[in-house]
């Protein structure tokens, strides 16, 4: 997919959901097998420590609504009362696992979005925000935007950053658009460190959507998202440093973020980093990045690459293309 060199009003990212942790199949059974041990322990007295069983269950389930499976299991072992109160969320986690299998066709089952949606909705009914977000994704992809937004709203209200981010993006694309609400929820997710929301919030500040256009604020959020591993933000942060827009101009910082984006598969960054290497006389390295950019659809990189190849020996050409064949993108948040 080609990335734009600078955001316009159609720029955005796909909705996102938290990846499901991969618990051992026996973990739920481990909890159940420990019931007798937990139940046989004497209750803590006020002098022994806090009485966790007195914690209000409605607050507990709201706090735990966005827990992943390992955290939910750990909370379930605190005391008998918590174990019983969190049972619906543990069931939701199992339903979420089944839904993921049907959604992606993994674990020996065929891909079936109807069964995936059914599992996600059952998990959402038991209070899991992760299931709410996944169900919302399927609804949105099917054009059922009101149903998707309703689920995102529930997840967002319970503090789920993916739900907050997706709700914000929904308001940007819904009819009618609601830019102020979009910025509100993107900001909520951003201050919690959710990189996709930070990138989207930067775009809103850059374009003046829901807020006054503020390039300094946009650059701040581009940089935060870049530092969190978001590839598109790395590219935009590089442009900010290169042009001095929103950030103090710095060729060194611009090169650093451009290379980081290139090494993580951003095709335009690969093209521009290749050009920079070419200008510095690093012909072999330049060919590798320009070849990668060409394979990702950056047609402008083809001409420059061919010019350089003509200057290299046959052995060097083969070596450069072999490096491109064996290249793998570094991990990133997106």
Range with the lowest mean pLDDT among 57-66, 174-183, 247-256, 283-292? 57-66
Cα separations in angstroms, 285 against 3, 253, 297, 324: 22, 20, 19, 10
Question: How is 129-189 classified by DSSP, letter by letter?
Answer: HHHHHHHHHHHHHTT-HHHHHHHHHHHHHTT-HHHHHHHHHHHHHSSS--HHHHHHHHHHH
pTM recorded for the entire structure: 0.82
* pLDDT one-digit tens code per residue, 103-160: 999 989 999 999 999 999 999 999 999 999 999 999 999 999 999 999 999 999 999 9
CB contact at 8 A, 268 and 3: yes
Cβ neighbors of 148 (< 8 A, separation 6 or more) are 136, 137, 139, 140, 170
* pLDDT one-digit tens code per residue, 247-276: 999 999 999 999 999 999 999 999 999 999
Cβ neighbors of 59 (< 8 A, separation 6 or more) are none
* Reported confidence tier of residue 49, pLDDT bands at 50, 70, 90: low
Q: CA-CA distance, 178 to 14, in Å (whole number)?
A: 18
Considering only residues 282 and 15, tell me which one the structure prediction assigns the higher pLDDT. Answer: 282
* Reported confidence tier of residue 61, pLDDT bands at 50, 70, 90: confident
* Reported confidence tier of residue 34, pLDDT bands at 50, 70, 90: very low
CB contact at 8 A, 21 and 69: yes
Q: Token pair 């919690």 is at which residue?
A: 192
Class of domain 160-264: mainly alpha
CB contact at 8 A, 169 and 200: yes
What pLDDT score does 48 carry?
53
Considering only residues 206 and 175, tell me which one the structure prediction assigns the higher pLDDT. Answer: 206
Per-residue pLDDT averaged across 184-201, rounded?
97
- Domain segments of the chain: what residues? 57-144, 160-264, 267-333
What pLDDT score does 334 carry?
74
For the cut 60, the answer to whether the pLDDT of residue 166 exceeds it is yes
For the cut 50, the answer to whether the pLDDT of residue 286 exceeds it is yes
């Amino acid at each position: 997919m080609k990335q734009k060199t600078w955001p316009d009003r159609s720029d955005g990212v796909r909705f996102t959901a938290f990846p499901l942790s991969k618990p051992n199949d026996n973990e739920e059974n481990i909890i159940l097998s420990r019931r007798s041990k937990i139940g046989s322990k004497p209750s803590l007295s006020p002098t022994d420590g806090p009485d966790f069983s007195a914690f209000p269950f409605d607050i507990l389930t709201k706090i735990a609504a966005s827990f992943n499976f390992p955290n939910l299991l750990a909370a379930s072992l605190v005391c008998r009362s918590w174990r019983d109160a969190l049972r619906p969320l543990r069931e939701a986690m199992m339903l979420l696992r089944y839904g993921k299998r049907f959604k992606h066709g993994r674990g020996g089952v065929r891909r079936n979005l109807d069964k995936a949606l059914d599992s996600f909705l059952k998990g959402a009914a038991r209070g899991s925000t992760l299931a709410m977000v996944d169900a919302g994704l399927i609804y949105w992809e099917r054009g059922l935007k009101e149903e998707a937004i309703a689920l995102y709203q529930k997840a967002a209200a319970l503090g789920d950053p993916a739900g907050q981010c997706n709700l914000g993006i929904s308001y940007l694309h819904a009819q009618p658009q609601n830019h102020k609400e979009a910025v509100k929820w993107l900001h909520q997710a951003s201050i919690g460190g959710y990189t996709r929301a930070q990138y989207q919030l930067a775009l809103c500040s850059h374009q003046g959507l829901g807020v006054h256009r503020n390039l300094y604020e946009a650059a701040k959020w581009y940089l935060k998202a870049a530092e969190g591993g978001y590839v598109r933000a790395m590219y935009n942060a590089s442009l900010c440093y290169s042009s001095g827009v929103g950030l103090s101009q710095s060729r060194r910082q611009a090169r650093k973020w451009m290379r980081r984006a290139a090494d993580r598969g951003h095709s335009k960054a690969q093209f521009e980093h290749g050009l920079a290497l070419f200008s510095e006389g690093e012909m072999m390295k330049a060919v590798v990045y320009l070849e990668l950019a060409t394979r990702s659809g950056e047609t402008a990189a083809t001409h420059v690459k061919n010019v350089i190849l003509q200057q290299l020996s046959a052995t060097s050409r083969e070596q450069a293309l072999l490096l491109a064949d064996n290249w793998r993108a570094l991990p990133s948040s997106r």
